Amino acid sequence: MKRVAVIGGGITGITTAYTLAKRGLDVTVYEKHRYAAMETSFANGGQLSASNAEVWNNWQTIIKGLKWMSRRDAPLLVNPKPSWHKLSWFAEFIAAIPQYEQNTTETARLAIAARDHLFAWAQNEGIDFDLKKQGILHIYRDKAGFDHAANVSRLLAAGGLERRAVTPEEMRAIEPTLAGTYYGGFYTESDSTGDIHKFTNGLAEAILRLGVKTCYEHSVTELSADQSHAWVTSFDGEEQTRDTFDGVVICAGVGSRELAAKLGDRVNIYPVKGYSITVELDDQASQEAAPTVSLLDDATKIVTSRLGDDRFRVAGTAEFSGYNRDIRDDRIRPLTRWVEQCFPGVCTRRVVPWAGLRPMLPNMMPRVGPGRLPTVFYNTGHGHLGWTLSAITAEMVADAVASAVSGTTASTAG
């Protein structure tokens, strides 16, 4: 049996380990934390959203970022302190603007293809992750935002996604608890939401039943490969261990850039910080006042998910400030304020803040497939859509790995 190492125990690492094990490979997962899904896969917005497939590579994003640089509570905040990493990333981001339409459509196609896999895995493995299949409603307060969304809908439709324009009256019918005045919205009935942390940990238990070896609390200190093997050196706090594999898959989120460099590959991921709050719905009045349909407010870049009866997740914003995981009060306050404005009946006395680093490549597309060496593979750089795309990119990379290390035929990726 061929041996494959997976570096990273977040949503992409655990889904990759699952798909590899399903193909009969001997899989070992390395994760520096004590449990799976403890960083970016811990408390994201919860949306499984093909309707949010629009990539950010357009001049409108650049203009907004420049305009908002002096606002500490801006939806998009760029730390003006220069670094070669940041400058090279933005240069490549601008260079990818001509691929905006093509990449938006392809991302939608991938997101749709991911759904069936993820739902089937959850059913087969008995994973309860607060799945809610009630669609996602995009909300717009002015005609300019609504008209831009209409153009995006055309690109999403080319990728196979159906979403429809809705009037303010229809918006109130879809989600009666939403307060405020709106120009209109777009509703995607096929989108859904769930708890990424619950799902990833459920799948982490499933891979153990499939015989996957999990090395939690193991930091990868050295990584190398040649034409036929890969070597992983890890440290568990007491001793270093070096092991030999037939292949390695890098699923290390924002750590993937440094690991790729060790293997002779350039994977220019930048850590884009996002924030979330989990509003604890402790009383019946708050539970009734909180939405059950997932929302996406494009103007403020805020998304919501209802997780079970007693949790309301609100997430958003993008911050370019390097590998900084600090939870800033001036970035959390706008999320709480948004809840109080849009859902005034929800009590915000007990709110749990969180921040995570999204691994983003300049063209907003994930890196999936082989590296420079035939023993090295990548499944990383999913940006704000790691949860949404994880199932299909795991299938894709598992097909590539199985074909390369075992000489098997690719089987299931859409």
Mean pLDDT rounded to a whole number for the chain: 95
Strands, E assignment, 125-269: 136-140, 164-166, 184-188, 192-193, 213-216, 219-225, 230-235, 240-245, 247-250
Tell me: the pLDDT tens digits for 72-96?
888 888 888 889 999 999 999 999 9
| pLDDT score for 329 | 94
pTM equals 0.96
Structure tokens given for 97: 């603007």
| pLDDT score for 229 | 97
End-to-end alpha carbon distance in the chain:
26
d(CA 168, CA 288): 21
Residue 150 binned pLDDT confidence (cut-offs 50, 70, 90): very high
Residue 255 gets which letter from DSSP? G
| pLDDT score for 211 | 98
Angle between helices 386-406 and 100-125 (to 10 degrees): 80
> What are the C-alpha distances in Å from 302 to residues 28, 217, 362?
36, 33, 21
Q: In what order do the strands lie in the sheet with 230-235?
A: 219-225, 230-235, 240-245
Residue whose C-alpha is closest to residue 14's, from 240, 272, 197, 267: 197
The answer, yes or no, to whether residue 71 has pLDDT greater than 90, is: no
Residue 412 binned pLDDT confidence (cut-offs 50, 70, 90): very low
Average confidence (pLDDT) over 248-252: 98
The answer, yes or no, to whether residue 408 has pLDDT greater than 80, is: no
Q: How many residues does the chain have?
A: 414
Tell me: the pLDDT tens digits for 327-381?
999 999 999 999 999 999 999 999 999 999 999 999 999 999 999 999 999 999 9
The answer, yes or no, to whether residue 132 has pLDDT greater than 80, is: yes
The answer, yes or no, to whether residue 410 has pLDDT greater than 60, is: no
Average confidence (pLDDT) over 126-146: 98
- Residues 333 and 299 sit within 8 Å (Cβ to Cβ): no
| pLDDT score for 407 | 63
| pLDDT score for 69 | 79
Give the domains, in start order, of the chain with CATH numbers.
Answer: 3-362+370-406 (3.50.50.60)
Tell me: the pLDDT tens digits for 299-315?
999 999 999 999 999 99
